[in-house]
Homo-oligomer: A and B are copies of this chain.
Amino acid sequence: MAVTDEAITKIKDMLISGELKAGDRLPPEKDLSERLGLSRSSMREAVKALELIRVLDVRRGDGTYVTSLEPQLLTEAMAFVVDLHQDKSVLELFEVRRILEPGSASLAAQRITEPQLAELNAMIDTVQEDTSVEDLVAHDLAFHSLIAKASGNSYLESLLDGLSSSTVRARVWRGLTQDKAVTATLAEHNAIAAALSRGDAELARALMTVHVSGVENWLRQSL
Give min CB distance, A212 to chain B, whole Å: 12
**Chain B residues, CB < 8 A from A15:** 84
Contact of A69 with B by CB under 8 A: yes
Number of copies: 2
Which of B48, B53, B89 makes the CB contact (< 8 A) with A45? Answer: B48
Give min CB distance, A100 to chain B, whole Å: 6
Evaluate contact between A159 and B156: CB separation under 8 angstroms: no
Give min CB distance, A2 to chain B, whole Å: 8
Query: Among residues 49 to 86 in chain A, which have CB atoms less than 8 Å away from a CB atom of chain B?
Result: 49-53, 55, 69, 71, 73-74, 77-78, 80-81, 83-86
Which of B44, B53, B85, B93 makes the CB contact (< 8 A) with A53? Answer: B53
Number of interface residues of A (CB under 8 A): 44
Q: In whole angstroms, how far apart are the Cα atoms of A23 and B154 in the complex?
A: 35
Which of B51, B71, B93 makes the CB contact (< 8 A) with A155? Answer: B93
**Chain B residues, CB < 8 A from A71:** 81, 85, 89, 92
25 contacts between A and B (CB under 8 A): A12-B84, A15-B84, A41-B44, A45-B45, A45-B48, A46-B48, A48-B48, A49-B51, A49-B52, A50-B52, A52-B52, A53-B80, A69-B84, A69-B85, A73-B84, A74-B78, A89-B155, A92-B153, A93-B155, A95-B107, A95-B155, A99-B99, A99-B104, A100-B100, A159-B159
New A-B pairs, 17, CB < 8 Å, besides A77-B78, A93-B155, A98-B103:
A12-B80, A12-B84, A16-B83, A44-B45, A45-B49, A52-B52, A52-B53, A53-B53, A55-B84, A69-B84, A71-B85, A73-B84, A77-B80, A92-B153, A96-B159, A99-B100, A159-B159
